[in-house]
Amino acid sequence: MQDIESSERPAAAPRISVIGTGYLGATHAAAMAEMGFEVVGVDSDERKVEALSRGEVPFYEPGLPELILKHVSSGALRFTTDIAEATAFSDVHFICVGTPQQRGSHAADLSYVEAATAQVAKNLTHDALIVGKSTVPVGTAARLRSIIADLVPAGIDAELVWNPEFLREGKAVEDTLTPDRIVLGGTSEKAERLMRTVYAQPIATGIPVIVCDLPTAELVKVSANAFLATKISFINSIAEICEVAGADVTTLADALGHDVRIGRQFLNAGLGFGGGCLPKDIRALMHRSRELGAYQASALLQQVDEINMAQRQRVINLTLEAVGGSVLNRRIGVLGAAFKPHTDDVRDSPALNVAAALHLRGAQVVVYDPQAGQTARRNFPTLSYADSLADAAAGADALLVLTEWAEFVDADPAQLATQVNTPQVIDARNCLDAAAWRASGWTVRTLGRSTQPDSDRASSRQAVLV
């Protein structure tokens, strides 16, 4: 990670505000400070602002706490609840607030984006560039430009452009400092020059810059997520065929991955995707597609979503099969709570969805996750939680591997076999060495792979990072 002192900031360099200090905003603010800018993060949550001002991050993201503490200590980065102070200080304002799914609808809730944009516009004291980074339905930016035009004080020039984010949880710092592309939507020549100044460091390394119109920029992120979700649901559909035909979906995916037109990433069959981005983004795109009359796209995304959700029921069915048809009063050890490894995010977590469903069927569910335990406890307080893998396994009638943490992949199956009541494991992520587990006395059930020992193959164990 490049070490840049704030004193190296050119005299003419813009000052930056980041509105919203959640996952996206906190990471972006820290990265901008690392790139040499003076940055102020703005949030309405006073406790969050106080914590970030101490260098404390309220979620797990590798490398981010150290980066925030470094630049809070240097003075390059600070946090406030006062948006008027931030707008007076800054020249470029990044809108990084959430766009959750609306209650009772697949549509995105844009109230936070609209409110943040309005607050920036009406508090401007000098010319400014407002940059949308939140993931929004196509057409949102045009409406935000109207809001800005109505609220900006007379005599002040304010321009809105769109610069979508492409962060992967678990690699957010790396993705912000060294993105694989930078998209700039709806920029004037002046705004493009300013944005190229902001991103001068990654651009200097050869990172491609795509300059486009507003609708294209708005569609890039959601289209990328929809494509990745489609790959996952595709391989899970093929996994169903593999089970019936006696084929091995992992070996099949390896063979497909050698085709440069396809690639191996996001072809790991298993429990499916979750988290705070893919599910709500494809549903928002589905909803917007229907509004625009693009019904084929909407139908495709509907099928992708349904296939993904069905994977959770398949794991529940495998669990029922493993324990004789009923989980009532059976002890089930659930390994994993986060929607993927290297994060403590449990939003729309397939693992916790399966755990909760088994709990409702009368199972004694015990969940263990090396990072997401506390987050899971807050969101699913009715489940029981263990503080270690051994505690989750103790006395279990079945173990379910639902998040592919390295701790689970590298666990000693022989040792675990001495701790459970019945040595049977459901590898819902196809991440275990099934041959080694069977050699240690385990019955191994998977998705898309034969249960017969002679079909075992060395898993690629390629992490799927969504």
Residues forming a β-bridge with 160: 130
C-alpha–C-alpha distance, residues 237 and 84, integer Å: 52
Domain ranges of the chain: 12-212, 223-450
CATH assignment of 12-212?
A: 3.40.50.720
Q: What pLDDT does residue 96 have?
A: 97
Rounded average pLDDT per 10-residue block, the chain, 466 residues: 37 89 96 97 96 92 96 96 96 96 93 97 97 96 97 96 95 95 97 97 97 98 96 97 94 96 95 94 96 97 97 97 96 97 96 97 98 95 96 98 98 97 97 96 91 44 37
Q: Is 12-212's fold the same as 223-450's?
A: yes
Active site residues: 277
Give domain 223-450's CATH superfamily.
Answer: NAD(P)-binding Rossmann-like Domain (3.40.50.720)
C-alpha–C-alpha distance, residues 192 and 15, integer Å: 16
Q: Which one, of 420, 432, 413, lies nearest residue 396 by Cα? A: 420
Residue 260: how many CA atoms within 13 Å on its side-chain side?
0
DSSP states along 247-258 = --HHHHHHHHHT
Residues in Cβ contact with 149 at an 8 Å cutoff, skipping those fewer than 6 apart = none
Q: What pLDDT does residue 98 have?
A: 94
| Other residues' Cβ atoms within 10 Å of the Cβ of residue 293 | 7
Q: What pLDDT does residue 222 have?
A: 96
